[in-house]
Chain A
Amino acid sequence: MWYELSGVFVEKTLGVQGALADALHFFLYDTVKIGLLLVSIIFMVSFLRTWVNTEYVRAHLQGKSVMYGHVGASLFGIITPFCSCSAIPLFLGFIQARIPLGITFSYLISAPMNNEVAIAMLFGLFGWKITLAYIGFGLCVAIVGGWLIGRLGLEQEILMEVQPIAGQLEAHLVSLSLRDRAKEAWDYTFDIFKKIYIFVMIGVALGAWIHGYIPTEFIARYTGEGNPFAVVIAVLMGIPMYSNAAGVMPLIEVLTSKGMLLGTALSFMMAVTALSLPEALILKKIISLKLIGVFFAIVGSGIIAIGYLFNLII
């Protein structure tokens, strides 16, 4: 309905025609739609999040079996917030609680990848099927990747001596009234929205321009079936883009509508969120370059494999 309405507004009220009308319509439609979705999805996730915090996750994962640990850590990664600036206390805190290195990595891979902004953007731009594929494959990378890192026995690559906590930590869920939870969730939503919306607008504007002016054959040749290395290039390009996930995704949507393969798009988006250069630089202070290399190599190849697999299936 909003699609038709915004179209009528551009053509009749503004009296614009042709490629410009196309681009304007697209911009108006997408920014409003994504804006609404961002607000509602971020609100829902942050509302649920008021029940758990990272301290709870740590206590919960302590002393669990390998299988439960990897799966649990990856699942908790969806719901808990993650900021690359708290990667160090998180990492050391998990080790301190004697949670194995591999399980710590499962969490560290899943948490930034399954963040609420990425999920909201995906849902708004690509629909629920692609969103579920993203989350599902993302969990696989986190579980298998973390497990592999754990199997490699790289514990001596942690550069800081951590004194383990004796005994079992107690896990307490946060107790708050529903009203306080809603308020906290709303504050958080507003805060995030303020920060990212400008990037969303820029991303959609660029996307709208591509949508209206760049020929489909051009995009298909470089990002579609014509380029067998597209997935690998997409993953490499995704590494330095973490902070702008919200701005990058609208561009990807336009590229897919013009012939970029979906698997390539999926790989790119996963690389943007899961492989982050700033996070690697922060982790560098507490773990060796070798371990960071292993982490990036394992996650990167997992993501590339998913891209090719997805391109083959669809």
Chain B
Amino acid sequence: MKIEILGTGCAKCRQLEAVVKEAVAKSGRFAHIEKVDDIMKIMEYQVVSTPGLVIDGKVVSTGKVLSVDEVTALLK
């Protein structure tokens, strides 16, 4: 599983990254987590409000910091 966090380095993006790491650790799954801060790459995903969350190439959330529970639900 590949998880990407889209954001150009704002506070919310770092929060989301921390949440995702915690959710993945709790789920016990193996996932490759990557922080994407290249604006061109973010645009390719057609995301206009950061932070964005992408799981296996699919945009699942934009513009907000999810909770650990919400991310856990998305991992399934």
Using a CB–CB distance below 8 Å, which chain A residues touch chain B?
A: 53-55, 58, 81, 83, 85-86, 88-90, 92-94, 96, 160, 162, 165, 169, 184, 187-188
Contact = CB atoms under 8 A, between A and B. Distances in A.
Q: Per DSSP, are chain A's interface residues mostly helix, strand or loop, or mixed? A: helix
Interface stretch (B18-26, B27-35, B42-50): B42-50
A92 B62 contact: no
Q: Per DSSP, are chain B's interface residues mostly helix, strand or loop, or mixed? A: loop
Given A83-B10, A86-B10, A58 B48 contact: yes
The size bracket of the interface on B is: 10 to 19
Contact of B62 (A54, A162, A187, A188): A54
Nearest to B59: A55
A152 B64 CA distance: 35
Contact of B47 (A83, A85, A89): A89
Given A54-B62, A89-B50, A93-B48, A83 B12 contact: yes
A83 B43 CA distance: 17
Nearest to B47: A89
Given A93-B43, A162-B43, A54 B48 contact: yes
A90 B12 contact: no
Nearest to B50: A86
A85 B12 contact: yes
A85 to B, nearest CB: 3
Given A53-B62, A55-B62, A86-B10, A92 B49 contact: no
Given A83-B10, A89-B39, A169 B46 contact: yes
Contacts of A88: 8, 39
A52 B18 CA distance: 26
A89 B12 contact: no
Nearest to A92: B43
Nearest to A286: B39
Contacts of B62: 53-55
A188 B50 CA distance: 15
Contacts of B43: 89, 92-93, 96, 162
B14 to A, nearest CB: 11
B10 to A, nearest CB: 3
Contacts of A94: 48
